[in-house]
Structure 1
Amino acid sequence: MKRLIGLGLLLAGVMYPFAVYFGLAHVAPWQFGLLLGALWLARAIVTRSPGSQWMAIAALGFCALLGLSDSPALLRWYPVLINAFMLALFGTSLLRGMPMAERLARLREPHLPARAVRYTRRVTQVWCVFFLVNGLIATALTLWAPLSWWTLYNGLLAYIAMGLLFAVEWRVRQRVRGRP
């Protein structure tokens, strides 16, 4: 059930810009808030980690505000919120505990050498910069761009940029490991 809800939130996040762009003529903003709120509430119920709880509470607050205000302009702030969540998640992992990239790396390789631990810290920092820049672009588009530009960036270009960063990081990781 946890994976199904996670998949629902992932799909909602990926499709969200297009749903806003094409759906505003047929669906009221409060209905977007209700759907997102239901997904986040379900996630909060099945996921008990402290990081997940504060994100769910913030997302539910956003969804409640969206539902009460019924504001089409507020719909455009959701990608900014998600980037802020990711920046907070990756950024706080640098301050305490294990950096996020190291946690993910240890899922495949539990005993990382010191060199790999330093590398994963750097990768986590790079992702923090990515989420900061991506969030600032999403904010600028929310405030000053037409809906079509906002949709293009948040629904396609941001994912292309994320994919490129994944690909570049994978290539660098291969070189660091000594593989061609």
Structure 2
Amino acid sequence: MLKQLLLTAAMLLAVLPVTRARTGASPDALPIPIAPPSVIMSGEDMAALRLVHARAIEQPASGAALPAATPMALPLLKIVPHGQSVSPYSPYFTTGQQLQNGSGDCGTLADCFGLPLKSEAPLYDVYQVTPHGPVTVFVSPVAPTEELGGLVRRKGGALQYLLPNRKLWSAPVLVGTITN
């Protein structure tokens, strides 16, 4: 039942904005369908649904523009502070070319990739993931960010590749290190 609820939530998140735009209705004018009485959600199911909803909003919002769906069959890379491992859930990856561009275009990789302070480091491990076959990823430039009330600002601008389903990719493999 949880799988069906998550699929329904994903479809609603995709369809409602299009429906609202097509009809010209304000966001409050179109009701969100309510599950029939026969569907009873446990607290755990409701928490999972809230998490899916939060991610569906948070991930595309991390870009300076709406992400473009792009077919991908090539490996992608992720940087993490030296000595740390890749989260099995993080959807944020990039290409080798973007890492090279970031090295020259910004003062630091943290600046180009909008990394939070907790992820800034003098040295990063570079991990590679490979798709199990052709997949769709979502590409957008990283949005500028700020933390600590604007005391720390990141330029952003590097291209990020969002991988919504990491199960379609290999486990991350350490391929090298790079300086910030």
TM over 0.5: no
Counting helix residues as a fraction of each chain, which structure ranks higher?
1
Counting strand residues as a fraction of each chain, which structure ranks higher?
2
**What TM-score do the two structures reach when normalised by structure 2?**
0.30
**What TM-score do the two structures reach when normalised by structure 1?**
0.30
User: Rg bigger for which structure?
Assistant: 2
